[in-house]
Structure 1
C-alpha cells in the first residue's frame, strides 16, 4: 500500500497516472493545475514505488488522492476491477485461476472481479464427493451447468446472485496471516456493500461446540446450510457464502451474494438418506439463510447490487478500483484453461 501523503491544503479528489510506453519518456498527466511543485514531486516518487501493473505493453503505476475529514488527502492503493458478465461455469473458474497465476507472477495488481453464470450452475467444493452427494440427473434435468471449484466449501446454486472474487498476495500488508482473519478483512468489503443497500449486516462466528464441530465436518452438502467463521448475516440468517484457497503465495476468495433463491430447486440437486431428512434440512435451511430481496421493500437489481458492492469493496478495503478489460491474449489463455481443465471429467468428477 502506498504511504500516506498529507498536502498542506484541502482539495477535491486528485487523480493522475504515470505511464511508461515502450521507447518513450514517462508522461506525467494531471487533470488540473497542481498548486505545489514540491508536493507533486513527492507524489511522483510515491507512484514510482508501485509495482508495474502490466497490460497493453505498458508498465503503469497509478493511484488517486482523496480528501480526508481534516481537509488533507491520503494516497489509496489501486486495485484492478473486472466485470466479466455472465459466463460459462468452466470459464468462470478458469478466469479466477488465471488471475491468481498472473498476480503470483507480478503481472497484475490485486484484483476484484464480479461475474454471473450462463447457464445457472451448481458448483461444488474442491473436496466434495460427486457420487455420494450430488444428484447429477437432477442437475441435467434442470438444464444447469456443473463445475468443481478450486476452493473448498459446499455446493452452491449460482443463479440469481452477484458472484465476486478477490485475488491478493498473502504478503500484502493489509492481509493477516491466518485464513480466518484474512477472510474477515476481505469480507469487510462485502459487509459495507450490504450497508450501501440499507441492510444491517454483521459478522457472526460459531459459538457453541456443536457449531464448531460442524465447521470440521459439515452435515449438509449445501453451502448456505453450513456454518463458517465470520459469516455475514442479516437478522440472524446467512446472506453471503464464500470460500478461499491459497496457492503460489496468493489468496483467492470467491463467493455468492444472493439476490433471490429458489430453495426447492437447490434442494433437488443433492442426495439424501430419505425424503424425511431432505424435508428437515430444507425446513432448517429457511431459518439459516436469506436472500437480499427477501429483506427489502423493493426489488434490488443486479446493477444496483454491483454498484453497492463496488463501493463497498472500495470502502471496506480502503482502496480505489480501476476497471479493466481483458486483452485478446488473456481471453485466449482463459478459454484454453477452461477447455483443458474445468470442462474435463477428470477435474469435475475427481472425487
Structure 2
C-alpha cells in the first residue's frame, strides 16, 4: 500500500454535496492518478443515504423525512439505508492496483478496516472485526446497522460502524458511518412498516444488534476527539503518512454542479 496519502476534512455539508464529493474524488483519482485519499465529513441537514440498488417505493416514509428535516440521497455504493446525523463519516478513495489492495471486496474491507479498528482502540473501546455466520438466514431489513458484514467493526458483540464499497474504472470507494449517538425513533420513522407493532419489534431487534460510541464508552466524546482517534487510527492501522488535500475553487464548482444535477435530483434518488 502506498504509504503517502492525502487527508481532507471537508466539514459539514448537504447529503447531495457529500455524495458528489466522494464521486468527484474517485474520478480525480482515476483521471490523474493521485495518491489515496481519506476524507472525514458531516451532514446538514441529516441525511438518509440509501444503497445504489435499494428500492424506495413503499419503503421510505417521505412524510416523516420532511417532518424531521431529513434529506434522502442515493449512494454509489450498495447495501441498506443509513441515517447520518450525529456521527463521523469517512471515505477512502484508492486505486484497485495499489500493491496492498486485495482483488476481492472482502479482502479490501479487511485491509481498510484496520484503520477503523485502531480508531476505536484509541477511544479506549475493545473493538473487533466481524466474521459473520454464513449459515444465518438473510435479513431483509432496510436498515444497514441490523447486521455486521465481513470485517466491519463490532463492540460488545454489536455493530459499531457500517461501511459500503464500490469499484469503478480501476478505483475503489469505501465510505462508512461511525455513529456517536443513535436515535432509534428518528431512524425507524424513516421507513414504512405494515403496522406500529412490527415497527416496534424492528426497533427492539436493532437495539440488540447495533451500538453507538456514547453507549459503548459510557460517555459522549466530542466530534474533534473522535476525529483525532480515527485519524491516528488510520495512520497506525494502515502504516501511512497523511498530507493535507485542499480543494480549489474549480474543484468546488465541479462538486456543486454534480451535487445539483445528480445527487439532489429525484431522477437519481428515486430511480428504483
Q: TM-score range by the shorter chain?
A: over 0.9
CA distance in 1, matches of 2:184, 2:147: 15
The Cα shift of 1:145 comes to 1.4
CA distance in 2, matches of 1:208, 1:113: 32
The structure having more radius of gyration, on CA atoms, is 1
CA distance in 1, matches of 2:103, 2:32: 20
**Could you say which residue in structure 2 is the equivalent of 1:175?**
101
The Cα shift of 1:297 comes to 3.6
Task: Give the one of 95, 120, 138 matched to 2:64.
Answer: 138
In the alignment, does 2:161 pair up with 1:245?
A: no
In the alignment, does 2:155 pair up with 1:234?
A: yes
In structure 1, list runs of 5 or more residues that go unmatched: 3-76
Query: 1:38-117 counterparts in 2 under 5 A?
Result: 77-117=3-43
Q: Secondary structure at the match of 1:198?
A: coil
**Could you say which residue in structure 2 is the equivalent of 1:264?**
185
Larger relative contact order (CA 8 Å, sep ≥ 6): 2
CA distance in 1, matches of 2:203, 2:243: 41
Q: Is the 8 A contact 1:219 1:226 kept in 2?
A: no
Q: Deviations over 1:1-25 (max 9, x none)?
A: 56xxxxxxxxxxxxxxxxxxxxxxx
Q: Secondary structure at the match of 1:177?
A: coil
The Cα shift of 1:273 comes to 2.1
Q: Is the 8 A contact 2:109 2:152 kept in 1?
A: no
The Cα shift of 1:107 comes to 4.6
Task: Give the one of 233, 237, 251 matched to 1:316.
Answer: 237
Q: Secondary structure at the match of 2:57?
A: helix
The Cα shift of 1:256 comes to 0.2
Q: Is the 8 A contact 2:92 2:175 kept in 1?
A: yes
Query: 1:204-215 counterparts in 2 under 5 A?
Result: 204-210=130-136, 213-214=137-138
Q: Secondary structure at the match of 1:79?
A: strand
The Cα shift of 1:179 comes to 0.3
**Could you say which residue in structure 1 is the equivalent of 2:224?**
303
Q: Are the structure 2 counterparts of residues 297 and 276 from structure 1 closer, same or farther at C-alpha, using a change threshold of 3 Å?
A: closer
Query: 1:277-296 counterparts in 2 under 5 A?
Result: 277-296=198-217
CA distance in 2, matches of 1:341, 1:117: 18
What is the root-mean-square deviation of aligned Cα atoms in Å? Answer: 1.1
Q: Provide TM-score, normalisation by structure 2.
A: 0.97
CA distance in 1, matches of 2:165, 2:216: 27
Q: Is the 8 A contact 2:148 2:154 kept in 1?
A: no
Q: Provide TM-score, normalisation by structure 1.
A: 0.76
Structure 1 stretch 221-230 or stretch 284-293: which is displaced more? 221-230
Q: Deviations over 1:187-233 (max 9, x none)?
A: 110010000000000012112512xx42xxx3100010134112210
